[in-house]
Structure 1
Amino acid sequence: MKESVKKADIAPTGVASIRVVVADDHPVVRFGVKNMLESEPGFQVVGEAEDGDVAITETLELEPDILLLDVQMPRLPGLEALRAIMSKSPRVKIIMLTSTISTQQIIEALQIGARGIVLKDAVAGDLSKSMRAVLSGDYWIGGERVVNLVAALNELMKQAAAAPEKKTYGLTPRELEVVTCIVEGCSNKDVAKQFAISEETVKRHLSNIFDKTGVSTRLELALFAIAHKLVTLDS
């Protein structure tokens, strides 16, 4: 965890900066988000957290203006960390960062107190805009500024009711692609070649997939994926 910056710190210009805590279990994501924010005037990353428990501690201690909180966090999931923070420090504005999220999770996050949802593959274009939106009192949902939360929630609930979403057990899009490869009988080397990643990265994906699905072997994973319709088999 990086050295934290206390609440009284201000930007070099003498104007109070927008103080941010970044909570994500992947160091590369934290590094990338921090560099992105600090390249823009007015933002200052004052703390970092690698799991849900540390996110709560950092937020309550540092009282940032904004917490960027990953949905999928070890030790304590992002939505549970969100709930704990909102009960103790409702002033902080929280934006959920995620690779994938269901409509139901978006509804739950907003009901608990999140001010925005930003997909990680849209961070470069959306992050600073989403932060300025929530700081002005609005919300950020679906890649755009939202003024009327009640109307937005009503629309999300209609979507959720109209199209019940397939349960993915928290698997990211890439992890689902890896699952498909395993069902097709691919080796780690095959998967690595297909997605232009290292075999070590494939092993990390499989470890995460095993944890999320509760299986321990490739065969169990393949059977689990077929039984729970995580993959579509050619007829």
Structure 2
Amino acid sequence: MDSSARNIRIVIADDHTMFRDGLRRVLETDPHFQIVGEAADGLEAVRRVRELAPDILLLDLSMPRHSGWEALQELERLALRARTVVVAAAMDKDEVVEALRLGARGVVLKESASELLVDGIRAVMAGDYWVGDVGVSELVQAVRRIVSHLGRAAQHRNFGLTEREMEIMAAVVGGYANKDIAQSFCLSERTIKNHLTNIFDKLGVSSRLELALFAVNHQLVTHDSSLGGSATNKVSTSAPRR
């Protein structure tokens, strides 16, 4: 069923009662949003998600007793169907990527207009990632930094990717634009785009950000995701998705 044709069931997790009340009032102006529960800490958030099976969990990260970060890890372990949108006072790009890596599907800052949160909820329900106005290329660069810090070897499972597709995927995670990838492998940009289309189809992703997150989550790239080029070769905010 189309998510826009039915109620979207939401749990709000934040340790500030006034913020929860305000968020409830804002969201309940939309007839398709139904607030089914609230939580004041991470433990309660996980419990509410298990009990109520909401579509969306709106999760603050800075809560007492059990933080939102710990809740994200627990929800990822339990593999519950609720999609988490982090609603935080402030986050740097590395924290945004780490939240997405732990299973969050969206990030919205508390200072954002309420319309941005509504758009984010709808985007996440449609199966997309939502990062507000944070540039995709900035997040890809943050993914690269996290990969370098992980320093783990890639898993043997390659999801049907060829060796060349694995190389191109690693270059995308490294933050390189199609033009630079093509030059490195002595291929045309069209060929690189065709490879990316195949990679997206095999992995079930639809953007460079989703590809980077998938690769990090499944340890498909090592800490060396470099073409050996300079920082000026990195992907720009206007780079094509494929």
- 1:159-183 Cα distance to aligned partner (Å, 9 max, x none): 889xxxxxxxxxxxxxxxxxxxxxx
Q: Secondary structure at the match of 1:96?
A: strand
Partners of 1:121 and 1:38 in 2: how far apart? 19
Picking from 76, 86, 95, the partner of 1:105 is 95
- Asked whether the equivalents of residues 126 and 143 of structure 1 are also in contact (C-alpha less than 8 Å), the reply is no
TM-score normalised according to structure 2 size: 0.55
- Asked whether the equivalents of residues 139 and 145 of structure 1 are also in contact (C-alpha less than 8 Å), the reply is no
1:35 CA drift (Å): 0.5
Partners of 2:135 and 2:140 in 1: how far apart? 16
- 1:168-226 Cα distance to aligned partner (Å, 9 max, x none): xxxxxxxxxxxxxxxxxxxxxxxxxxxxxxxxxxxxxxxxxxxxxxxxxxxxxxxxxxx
Q: Is 1:19 aligned with 2:17?
A: no
Q: Is 1:68 aligned with 2:54?
A: no
Q: Is 1:154 aligned with 2:140?
A: yes
- Asked whether the equivalents of residues 43 and 66 of structure 2 are also in contact (C-alpha less than 8 Å), the reply is yes
Query: Residue 176 of structure 1 corresponds to which residue in structure 2?
Result: none
Q: Secondary structure at the match of 2:100?
A: helix
- Identity among equivalent pairs (%): 41
Partners of 1:145 and 1:135 in 2: how far apart? 21
Query: Residue 127 of structure 1 corresponds to which residue in structure 2?
Result: 117
Partners of 1:91 and 1:45 in 2: how far apart? 17
- Asked whether the equivalents of residues 93 and 139 of structure 2 are also in contact (C-alpha less than 8 Å), the reply is no
Partners of 2:35 and 2:132 in 1: how far apart? 25
Partners of 1:129 and 1:62 in 2: how far apart? 23
Q: Secondary structure at the match of 1:140?
A: coil
Picking from 132, 135, 139, the partner of 2:129 is 139
**Aligned-residue CA RMSD in angstroms?**
2.3
Partners of 1:67 and 1:145 in 2: how far apart? 24
**Which blocks of at least 5 consecutive residues in structure 2 are unaligned?**
148-242
Partners of 1:128 and 1:27 in 2: how far apart? 20
TM-score normalised according to structure 1 size: 0.56
- Asked whether the equivalents of residues 120 and 132 of structure 2 are also in contact (C-alpha less than 8 Å), the reply is no
In the alignment, residue 88 of structure 1 is paired with which amino acid? L
1:104 CA drift (Å): 1.8
**Which blocks of at least 5 consecutive residues in structure 1 are unaligned?**
1-14, 162-235
Q: Which has the higher contact order (CA 8 A, sep 6+)?
A: 2
1:54-65 aligned within 5 A:
54-65=44-55
Partners of 2:24 and 2:45 in 1: how far apart? 15
Query: Residue 6 of structure 1 corresponds to which residue in structure 2?
Result: none
Counterparts in 2 of 1:80 and 1:123: CA distance versus 1, 3 Å: farther
In the alignment, residue 115 of structure 1 is paired with which amino acid? R
1:23 CA drift (Å): 0.2
